[in-house]
Structure 1
Amino acid sequence: MPIRNDLVLEDTTLRDGEQTPGVAFSKETKTKILDALLAAGVGSVEIGIPAMGGEELEFIRSCVDRQDEARLVVWHRGVRADVESSLDMGFKAVHIGLPTSKGHLKASVRKDRSWLLATATDLVKMAKDRGAFVSISAEDIARTEISFLQEYAGVVHEAGADRLRLSDTVGLLGPEAYGERVAAVGSAAPIDTQCHAHNDFGLATANTLAGLKAGARYFHVTVNAIGERAGMADLAQVVVALKKLYDRDLGIDLTKLKELSLLVSRAARHPVLPWQPVIGDNVFAHESGIHANGMLRDTSTFEPFPPEHVGGERRYVLGKHSGRALVEWALEQQGIEPQEDLLGRCLDEVRAQSIRTGGAVSQEDLADIYKKALAEAGV
């Protein structure tokens, strides 16, 4: 099945992302992140959990008058008073979190499936009667029988739910199994589904794409893939993959991805790994002799797309794996026209210095290496 053309990205950095252990965003920080998400073109944002109260509730209240800027979704437990409180504040989009697996029902909410179906029906109907966009979860779908997922989907659709979030709550599914569940729900009820994939096995992005290929319309992401345990599907990775690999443009300003990543990284106090896809510092960095040699002739040889597409910068790194072509190029960047017969000597010293220091060699250090080589050669 081809990926549909009416996809809706919903960012949950401010809700599920902030549930990263040890991360706590102030009202001011959450406002800055929301501003940045909207500036990047994100049209749907899950903003937080009103039941937490305190500064979290202050931030959520401050968002009521911003609902014309994007769909702002508030998250709730399956508790009628919680949902009613958000509707009373004036929110037009609510999410209701409910588990569907027997294990989660027993251990988390201490209820059975009869309670689940009755509660889901009651809450959805109440919120729809008040004119809200209603999203509801099927949590822990990996350990929920497909037949019950289908039954549940039919019940919440009949009650009027606008979408069903299929949450692989502990990341137990592979892409094939996740896609199977999305397709099974789609065959059982005409309700929009939303991918919500956790990254415990490093498959959140793959599972999200598999779910979209199986017919899901909505999907969740977070900036820098932050979230509980191993995190979630990464906003930058999914958006760029959809655009570059599947020809689905979601209207996100890709040039703002790096800036957005840095903002959230600072707020969460967690640095982004240099090899993080799309926005990591090494994504457009080149050291290997063969790679750099090719890149200096044609930048498409070892890059899937230009760095400027996503707000990144290309770097050439001098180090243990560099070759003569990069040494020559780096010297020329310093205004030096190197002698051909000294390049090998310079390269040997670059590699040796890189090993001694355990890292890269700067262009300024290379210039000093070349000057020393000139002197030793009696030039």
Structure 2
Amino acid sequence: MQEIRLSNKTNKLELDPYSYQLQDVESPELFREMFPYTETPKIAFNYRRVPENMPEDIFITDTTFRDGQQSRAPYTMEQMVHIYKLLHELGGPNGMIRQTEFFVYSEKDRKALEKCMELGYEFPEITTWIRANKKDFEMVKSIGVKETGVLVSCSDYHIFHKMGLTRKQALDKYLGIVSDCIEAGLRPRCHFEDITRADFYGFVVPFANRLMEMSEQSGVPIKIRACDTMGFGVPYPGASLPRSVSGIIYGLQHYSGVPSEMLEWHGHNDFYKGVVNATTAWMYGASAVNCSLLGIGERTGNVPLEAMVFEYASLRGHLNGMNTKVITEIAEYISKETGYEIPPMTPFVGENFNLTRAGIHADGMLKNHEIYNIFDTDTLLDRPPKVSVNSTSGIAGVGYWINQYRKKKGLEPVDKKSPLVRRVYDWVQEQYDEGRITIISDAELTRQTELAMEAE
């Protein structure tokens, strides 16, 4: 029976011609036309576009201590506590980094969680990710955590091939787990694993409908995290489900009534779409995007948290209290204290992200930083733009490097035509004339600059 109702979002009468019910199929729906496995995955279009619906309140959640630890050596307890403090400082007083999640399987993780809770920060709120059983629920509750993640895999790849269940069996199991979580006095956060390969109308929507019914009956908010586990999501308008990010977010809101504040996107970067998919989720109705610091995570990684800081500022025109200079401090800490090597070209945090090598670029930097620097990286990230000196840097590149050195020493800048710059430049040219092929190190340039200054 068709139903006409007044939407509290659009304030218009809307016709819902169909109420989606669980489709308990006998064989798994693997969408082989999109995911042939022996070929590149396909992106299909049906040209159905859904309206943008960006929430008033959008924010970031963090998985550095959960997903971020699954692809690297585990952090020590001391490192986790220090990074948590930095997340608090980065997120600012308005809690832009709203939550962070911890494992609680090991004694080390539990101690780190307890130490972080003792700090008494409102943000990021500490949550957990646990195995779906009553023992773990009770353990988390005893620690004082109020929300926990629960894995509820949604695609037939997982339901049939990993768990060996039917859709109805999986649905019943998941609902029982969520009920146990609520009974234990916790807020459930349901991780809809592999949603971008799931039967959206045959399983995802009916499952979300049941969760929203449970939430209404219990009075306990139930959060849905839409997990693009394999990075198959696409941001393109008119793309078909199950790969359409906008379609997933719109569908969960329109067909299942999931409020924006209970809707979260968790993406991976397998096809280089992690950041744009997260932004798309924001734009179409999800309040939260789940990220990890430096993008460290399973396989190609999660959505980099620092990227979404700047996405937020780009979309809203302000940082809402976030302290972006802490991003540099975080990157330096993780690199130095844990031995993690940040690829040098990584935006915002890589050693070379605001470094130029070409001489013509260095000449532009000497005249005006805006010509070749993406924004005032000195002010926002405590990272002044740099140049590297090599065979193509020219006298402008050498001059720029020398002036950055003199600025650190509290000395006045010099013109690129000055004798000081000429002396160092001539030394650089001699190196390459003699067959050198590597860049000139900062230590070498420091030595030659100091010798040239002494000779003046």
> How far apart in 2 are the matches of 1:255 and 1:163?
31
Which one of the candidate residues 91, 113, 122 is aligned to 2:176?
122
> How far apart in 1 are the matches of 2:234 and 2:307?
18
Seen in structure 2, the aligned counterparts of structure 1 residues 216 and 310 have a Cα distance that, compared at 3 Å, is: same
> How far apart in 2 are the matches of 1:62 and 1:367?
48
Which one of the candidate residues 159, 162, 181 is aligned to 1:108?
162
Which one of the candidate residues 64, 74, 77 is aligned to 1:13?
64
CA contact (8 A) 2:390 2:438 kept: no
CA contact (8 A) 1:48 1:75 kept: yes
Counterpart secondary structure, 2:371:
coil
Residue of structure 2 in register with 1:98 after alignment = 152
Counterpart secondary structure, 1:10:
strand
Tell whether 2:135 aligns with 1:135. Answer: no
Q: Tell me the matched-pair count.
A: 370
Counterpart secondary structure, 1:40:
helix
Question: Relative to structure 2, which stretch is displaced further, 330-339 or 214-223?
Answer: 330-339
Residue of structure 1 in register with 2:16 after alignment = none
Tell whether 2:301 aligns with 1:231. Answer: yes
CA contact (8 A) 1:321 1:351 kept: no
Residue of structure 1 in register with 2:78 after alignment = 28
Which consecutive residues of structure 2, in runs of 5 or more, have no partner in the other structure?
1-51, 216-220, 237-243, 407-413
Seen in structure 2, the aligned counterparts of structure 1 residues 68 and 354 have a Cα distance that, compared at 3 Å, is: farther
Residue of structure 2 in register with 1:185 after alignment = 252
Which one of the candidate residues 214, 226, 246 is aligned to 1:159?
214
Counterpart secondary structure, 1:108:
coil
Aligned letter for 1:33? Answer: I
Aligned letter for 1:164? Answer: I
Which one of the candidate residues 389, 396, 400 is aligned to 1:318?
389
Kindly provide the CA deviation profile for residues 175-212 of structure 1, in whole angstroms up to 9, marking residues without a partner as x. Answer: 33223222222221222311100112222112111211
Tell whether 2:418 aligns with 1:338. Answer: yes
Tell whether 2:324 aligns with 1:254. Answer: yes
> How far apart in 1 are the matches of 2:73 and 2:425?
50
Query: What is the CA-CA distance between 1:248 and the residue it aligns to?
Result: 5.7
Seen in structure 2, the aligned counterparts of structure 1 residues 65 and 367 have a Cα distance that, compared at 3 Å, is: closer
Residue of structure 2 in register with 1:377 after alignment = none
Question: Relative to structure 2, which stretch is displaced further, 127-136 or 159-168?
Answer: 127-136
Which one of the candidate residues 360, 363, 379 is aligned to 2:445?
363
Tell whether 2:373 aligns with 1:306. Answer: no
Kindly provide the CA deviation profile for residues 305-355 of structure 1, in whole angstroms up to 9, marking residues without a partner as x. Answer: 111202323223222231333334556667786359969983981782697
> How far apart in 1 are the matches of 2:67 and 2:319?
24
Question: Relative to structure 2, which stretch is displaced further, 193-202 or 147-156?
Answer: 147-156
> How far apart in 1 are the matches of 2:222 and 2:119?
21
Which one of the candidate residues 171, 186, 192 is aligned to 2:231?
171
Taking only aligned residues, the RMSD between alpha carbons, in angstroms, comes to 3.1
Kindly provide the CA deviation profile for residues 80-126 of structure 1, in whole angstroms up to 9, marking residues without a partner as x. Answer: 33223212332111111110111112333333322332233333344
Residue of structure 1 in register with 2:142 after alignment = 88
Query: Where in structure 2 are the equivalents of 1:191-202 lying within 5 Å?
Result: 191=258, 192-202=262-272
Question: Relative to structure 2, which stretch is displaced further, 252-261 or 177-186?
Answer: 177-186
Query: What is the CA-CA distance between 1:11 and the residue it aligns to?
Result: 0.9
Counterpart secondary structure, 1:136:
strand
> How far apart in 2 are the matches of 1:119 and 1:350?
73
CA contact (8 A) 1:46 1:75 kept: no
Seen in structure 2, the aligned counterparts of structure 1 residues 267 and 128 have a Cα distance that, compared at 3 Å, is: farther
Question: Relative to structure 2, which stretch is displaced further, 107-116 or 278-287?
Answer: 107-116
Tell whether 2:291 aligns with 1:221. Answer: yes
> How far apart in 1 are the matches of 2:434 and 2:293?
33
Question: Relative to structure 2, which stretch is displaced further, 104-113 or 345-354?
Answer: 345-354
CA contact (8 A) 2:399 2:421 kept: no
Q: Percent identity?
A: 20
Tell whether 2:311 aligns with 1:241. Answer: yes
CA contact (8 A) 1:322 1:351 kept: no
Kindly provide the CA deviation profile for residues 271-308 of structure 1, in whole angstroms up to 9, marking residues without a partner as x. Answer: 11111101112122222122222221211111121112
CA contact (8 A) 1:346 1:366 kept: no
Kindly provide the CA deviation profile for residues 347-378 of structure 1, in whole angstroms up to 9, marking residues without a partner as x. Answer: 9817826971411354346659989xx9xxxx
Seen in structure 2, the aligned counterparts of structure 1 residues 54 and 348 have a Cα distance that, compared at 3 Å, is: closer
Counterpart secondary structure, 1:155:
helix
CA contact (8 A) 1:257 1:311 kept: no
Counterpart secondary structure, 2:372:
coil
> How far apart in 2 are the matches of 1:206 and 1:345?
43
Which one of the candidate residues 25, 32, 44 is aligned to 2:98?
44
Counterpart secondary structure, 2:289:
strand
TM-score (norm 2): 0.72
Aligned letter for 2:145? Answer: F
Tell whether 2:128 aligns with 1:74. Answer: yes
Seen in structure 2, the aligned counterparts of structure 1 residues 7 and 278 have a Cα distance that, compared at 3 Å, is: same
Seen in structure 2, the aligned counterparts of structure 1 residues 327 and 68 have a Cα distance that, compared at 3 Å, is: closer
Which one of the candidate residues 339, 352, 367 is aligned to 2:432?
352
> How far apart in 1 are the matches of 2:84 and 2:346?
22
